[in-house]
């Protein structure tokens, strides 16, 4: 099951794994999803992991695909985490 992860740069990852520097968010708070429209949102085209952060991950921490993330909008992001 996919979970939310965060790192100390304020980036958020949604997936099976978060990747280097990411820790699982145990107590999910919807505030994490505040102002999504003003943030860069990314989706892995292989496994549908999601990332909130200025830069897409080079390698997906869940499926390990390289350069597989594309930028998505807020609506698509919210659909993916339903
Ligand atoms: Zn992936």
pLDDT at 23: 97
The alpha carbon of 27 and the centre of ligand 1 are apart by a number of angstroms equal to 24
Q: Kindly report, residue by residue over 27-41, the tens digit of the pLDDT.
A: 888 888 888 999 999
The alpha carbon of 26 and the centre of ligand 1 are apart by a number of angstroms equal to 22
Q: DSSP label at 35? A: T
Higher pLDDT pick, 33 / 54: 54
The alpha carbon of 57 and the centre of ligand 1 are apart by a number of angstroms equal to 10
The alpha carbon of 28 and the centre of ligand 1 are apart by a number of angstroms equal to 22
**Backbone φ and ψ of 79, nearest 5°:** -60, -40
Q: Kindly report, residue by residue over 58-78, the tens digit of the pLDDT.
A: 999 999 999 999 999 999 999
The alpha carbon of 38 and the centre of ligand 1 are apart by a number of angstroms equal to 23
Q: Kindly report, residue by residue over 3-18, the tens digit of the pLDDT.
A: 999 999 999 999 999 9
pLDDT at 49: 98
Report, as an integer, the average pLDDT of 49-53.
97
Per-domain residue ranges of the chain: 3-80
């Amino acid at each position: 099951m996919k979970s939310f992860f965060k790192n100390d740069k304020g980036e958020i990852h949604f997936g099976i794994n978060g990747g280097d520097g990411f820790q699982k968010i145990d107590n999910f708070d919807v505030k994490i999803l505040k102002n999504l429209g003003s943030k860069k949102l990314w989706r892995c085209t292989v496994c549908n992991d999601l990332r909130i952060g200025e830069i897409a991950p080079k390698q997906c921490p869940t499926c390990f695909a390289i350069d597989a993330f594309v930028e998505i909008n807020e609506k698509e992001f919210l659909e993916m985490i339903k």
